[in-house]
Amino acid sequence: MPENLTEQITDTTSAAEAAPADSAPTTGAAAVDDGVDILFTDLKLDGRVLAALSDVGYEKPSPIQAATIPALLDGRDVVGLAQTGTGKTAAFAIPALSKMAELADINGGPSKNTQVLVLAPTRELALQVAEAFTSYAKHMDGFTVLPVYGGSPYGPQLNGLRRGAQVVVGTPGRVIDHISKGSLDLSNLEYVVLDEADEMLRMGFAEDVEQILSSTPDEKQVALFSATMPPAIRRIAKKYLNDPAEISVKGKTTTGTNTRQRYLQVMGPHKLDALTRILEVEDYDGIIAFVRTKMATEDLADKLRSRGFSAAAINGDIPQQQRERTVEALRDGKIDILVATDVAARGLDVDRISLVVNYDIPHDTESYVHRIGRTGRAGRSGDAILFITPREKYLLRSIEKATRQPVEQMQLPSTAKINELRLGKFADRITQTLSGEDVSLFRELIANYEQEHDVPASEIAAALAVMAQGGQPILVQDIPVAPAGQRERAEGRKDGFGSRGPTRTLTEGNATYRIAVGRRQRVMPGSIVGAIANEGGLSSAQIGGIDIRADHSLVELPADLSKDQLRALSRTRIGGELIHLELDKGRKPAAGRGAGEFKKPFRKDYPKRDGDTRFSGDATRKPRQGKGAGAGTGRSSAQSEQ
Ligand code: ADP
Ligand code: MG
């Protein structure tokens, strides 16, 4: 092994401490081309696997591959920590296949038994891993990889399992289902991989993963791959891995120190108001706000526009040409705010961006690093603000580690502060108008009015100020806490503010669903999130409050679930019980639901809702006209009245 490799293999303790391994935010081959002077041919791999690697065009192993493949070929348990995009899939797939190929030679053909089980957090990742296995196994005869995941019919998976698959790649919920149905026989299992272990934990699969691990044979090899090492993962590693080689690959820091990072604790439904307030007090040039889904880009851009900001959305569904035009508009200052998904903003390079808002927290630290790299460009200083909901707080430390910079907590600008600012701006407009405009015509008009109506000038000025405001109140207001009786009125508001405020109600676009498992079935919030996310093809972020009752539970989910999703979810099982998911018809949506009724799906080991930031929205705010528009607006409306 060449010398530089030993540096990447840290001892057990430091690997465990070194939570995220951060690397440059690049993808594919470039990401893994990181100065490892070792070739795949040095790694004692089976010739068929080597041939496949050369087919897919890999030149040499990535650092995590170079370090873990020998240990795995040796039969050791392995903990592999490396940032996203560093080639972890091949790191565990290549040695597994190489061993199976050699075993098949010895036994005169491949056995049909399931020898390898890979657990992955989502359907997409399971499919990706299965595809990777298939491509590396291209030259191995009689060899099958079967992905099994939630949200798709059991039939084909059952057939696949019956025919026999040497490698099964699955999401935890569905794997448990197959184990309990007896369709997945793990008695000949030799190798288990927990892929993207931190993400599995994040999605609430810890218990499922443990349940699966404890139903596998004692004699087996276990590998755990992850981008970060939260304590719960360390605990699982300790319990289920036998004297593992812990390998942590460090990447380069990519965030410049000229970007100031802050975070704001905010509940999901308050994010829009929070952003609005921040935009009012922060000095900014161009802004990019990151959200998690394509739909959310359009949604947030619409809402910002309706509040008077110049915002536009870019996402992967928008044709390339149009995306480019939007980016140009940002560059030229025709728009100020770009609302984007990670994919759409990849590589975006606009010097004007002075603030990055992580409206939805990114899925991994690499994305975070990439996102905030959109500001502080060309030697300028940048600002990054991260919205964190209480249950996301535990991710902060990984982010701080990835960027090697502290992320300071920021406070939401208060109602008083916003109002002070607005009054100040209004006064400035008066000053500017008096100094810069010819007001003689109006002076005469007012003087006449004062005499004719016998009204003091200050009264007239006040009336004119109201006119200048165009019917919009100048001050923002705290939203009153709506007692049950007043809620209907609050919810009737067109601006959507009724769904916010200190009393927890449904998030806009969500509905309450009922599932037929509750305390009696010993369900935990985590298993509900996991099962619903997987079987319904939802992201965990789309799953809102969960209220576990005695023999059923209420779950907040998007109101517009598709027929397929509903069908899949009605057949989903949690702990072996069918959940029969259905809309909770018995109750009016969002009615009378007190703050205590919905519980967010906290994991035991996550911080509780210690720092819920509750604040009132500013239902009455005047739409902002864009940067520095204050005085200009006043002028133009005065002129138009001439
Ligand atoms: P991770 O699981 O660490 O996020 P992946 O396993 O998904 O990363 O790999 C990221 C990308 O790198 C994939 O497109 C994969 O095909 C590619 N890749 C992996 N190993 C190599 C290699 N040795 N040489 C070139 N590309 C590689
Ligand atoms: Mg991966």
Which tens digits make up the pLDDT trace of 407-424? Answer: 999 988 888 888 888 898
Burial class (CB in 10 A: 0-12, 13-18, 19+), 174: buried
CA 567 to chain CA mean position, Å: 26
The values of phi and psi at residue 558, to 5°, are -55, 140
Same domain, 400 and 425: no
Average pLDDT over residues 536-551: 82
Rounded to the nearest integer, the mean pLDDT of the chain is 78
- Of 398 and 286, the structure prediction assigns the larger pLDDT to 286
Which pLDDT value is given to residue 27? 30
pLDDT cut 70: percent of the chain above it: 79
Tokens of 234: 């360390």
Evaluate: CB of 62 within 6 angstroms of ligand 1: yes
Decide if 639 is inside a domain: no
Separation between Cα atoms, residue 599 and residue 197, nearest integer Å: 25
Nearest Cα neighbor of 463 from 481, 445, 477 is: 445
The residue contributing the CA closest to ligand 1 atom 27 is 29
Same domain, 546 and 422: no
Separation between Cα atoms, residue 236 and residue 135, nearest integer Å: 30
Q: At residue 159, what is the residue type? A: N
Evaluate: CB of 28 within 6 angstroms of ligand 1: yes
**Relative to the CA of 56, which ligand 1 atom is closest?**
16
Decide if 130 is inside a domain: yes
Separation between Cα atoms, residue 631 and residue 425, nearest integer Å: 8
CA distances from 25 to 30, 251, 347 (A): 10, 10, 10
Reply yes or no on whether the pLDDT at 21 is more than 60.
no
Same domain, 354 and 376: yes
Reply yes or no on whether the pLDDT at 481 is more than 60.
no
Which pLDDT value is given to residue 610? 31
Same domain, 371 and 440: no
The three-class DSSP label of residue 441 is helix
Q: What angle do CA 195, 201, 202 make, to 5 degrees?
A: 115
* Smallest-distance ligand from the CA of 364: 1
Which pLDDT value is given to residue 159? 94
Which pLDDT value is given to residue 638? 32
Task: For residue 579, give its domain range.
Answer: 484-598
Number of domain units in the chain: 4
Separation between Cα atoms, residue 571 and residue 565, nearest integer Å: 10
Evaluate: CB of 251 within 6 angstroms of ligand 1: no
Evaluate: CB of 65 within 6 angstroms of ligand 1: yes
Q: Quick check: 599 and 547 in contact, CB under 8 A?
A: yes
26, 41, 58, 119: which to mutate for ligand 1, most atoms within 8 A of CB? 58
pLDDT band at 378 (very low <50, low <70, confident <90, very high): low
Which pLDDT value is given to residue 313? 95
Decide if 638 is inside a domain: no
Burial class (CB in 10 A: 0-12, 13-18, 19+), 264: buried
Which pLDDT value is given to residue 219? 94
Reply yes or no on whether the pLDDT at 595 is more than 60.
no
Partners of residue 563 on adjacent β-strands: none
Tens of pLDDT, residues 64-86 = 999 999 999 999 999 999 877 67
The three-class DSSP label of residue 582 is strand
Decide if 49 is inside a domain: yes
Separation between Cα atoms, residue 556 and residue 546, nearest integer Å: 6
Please list, in sequence order, all residues whose beta carbon lies within 8 angstroms of the beta carbon of residue 448, skipping any fewer than 6 positions away. none
Which pLDDT value is given to residue 163? 94
Average pLDDT over residues 466-484: 61
Decide if 120 is inside a domain: yes
Last residue in a domain, options 219, 249, 279: 249
**Relative to the CA of 82, which ligand 1 atom is closest?**
3
Q: What angle do CA 380, 381, 385 make, to 5 degrees?
A: 140
Which pLDDT value is given to residue 359? 96
pLDDT band at 257 (very low <50, low <70, confident <90, very high): low
Reply yes or no on whether the pLDDT at 61 is more than 70.
yes
Same domain, 239 and 370: no
CATH, residue 306 = 3.40.50.300
Question: Which residue in this structure is represented by tokens 């050791």?
Answer: 76
Q: At residue 51, what is the residue type? A: A
Last residue in a domain, options 214, 249, 284: 249
Evaluate: CB of 63 within 6 angstroms of ligand 1: no
- Of 247 and 481, the structure prediction assigns the larger pLDDT to 247
Reply yes or no on whether the pLDDT at 256 is more than 50.
no
pLDDT band at 12 (very low <50, low <70, confident <90, very high): very low
The rounded Å distance from CA 85 to ligand 2 centre is 7
Same domain, 135 and 271: no
The rounded Å distance from CA 252 to ligand 1 centre is 17
The residue contributing the CA closest to ligand 1 atom 25 is 29
Q: Quick check: 195 and 225 in contact, CB under 8 A?
A: yes
Among the ranges given (88-92, 269-273, 521-525, 636-640), the one the predictor scored with the smallest mean pLDDT: 636-640
Same domain, 58 and 123: yes
Evaluate: CB of 61 within 6 angstroms of ligand 1: yes
Tens of pLDDT, residues 177-232 = 999 999 999 999 999 999 999 888 888 899 999 999 999 999 999 999 998 888 88
Same domain, 191 and 332: no
pTM metric for this prediction: 0.47
Please list, in sequence order, all residues whose beta carbon lies within 8 angstroms of the beta carbon of residue 473, skipping any fewer than 6 positions away. 620, 622
Separation between Cα atoms, residue 222 and residue 249, nearest integer Å: 19
Evaluate: CB of 68 within 6 angstroms of ligand 1: no
Evaluate: CB of 23 within 6 angstroms of ligand 1: no
Please list, in sequence order, all residues whose beta carbon lies within 8 angstroms of the beta carbon of residue 571, skipping any fewer than 6 positions away. 535, 578
Decide if 612 is inside a domain: no
Strand runs (DSSP E) across 84-134, as ranges?
116-119
Decide if 617 is inside a domain: no
Which pLDDT value is given to residue 589? 45
Average pLDDT over residues 464-470: 85
Same domain, 20 and 57: yes
Query: CA torsion, points 102, 104, 106, 108, in degrees to nearest 10?
Result: -150
Q: At residue 179, what is the residue type? A: I
Evaluate: CB of 365 within 6 angstroms of ligand 1: no
Average pLDDT over residues 355-365: 90
Last residue in a domain, options 378, 409, 440: 409
Which pLDDT value is given to residue 347? 65
Same domain, 236 and 295: no
Which pLDDT value is given to residue 505? 62
Which pLDDT value is given to residue 214? 92
pLDDT band at 109 (very low <50, low <70, confident <90, very high): confident
In three state form, how does the secondary structure of 314-329 look?
Answer: ECCCCCHHHHHHHHHH
pLDDT band at 11 (very low <50, low <70, confident <90, very high): very low
Decide if 389 is inside a domain: yes
Average pLDDT over residues 559-576: 84
The rounded Å distance from CA 599 to ligand 1 centre is 39
Evaluate: CB of 80 within 6 angstroms of ligand 1: no
Same domain, 140 and 120: yes
Tens of pLDDT, residues 486-532 = 332 333 322 222 222 223 467 778 889 999 888 888 888 778 888 88
CATH, residue 564 = 3.30.70.330
Reply yes or no on whether the pLDDT at 613 is more than 80.
no
What DSSP designation does 622 have?
Answer: P
The rounded Å distance from CA 227 to ligand 2 centre is 8
Average pLDDT over residues 587-594: 42
Separation between Cα atoms, residue 561 and residue 510, nearest integer Å: 10
Which pLDDT value is given to residue 593? 39
* Smallest-distance ligand from the CA of 82: 1
Q: Quick check: 99 and 110 in contact, CB under 8 A?
A: no
Same domain, 92 and 233: yes
Which pLDDT value is given to residue 637? 33
The rounded Å distance from CA 197 to ligand 2 centre is 9
Average pLDDT over residues 285-299: 92
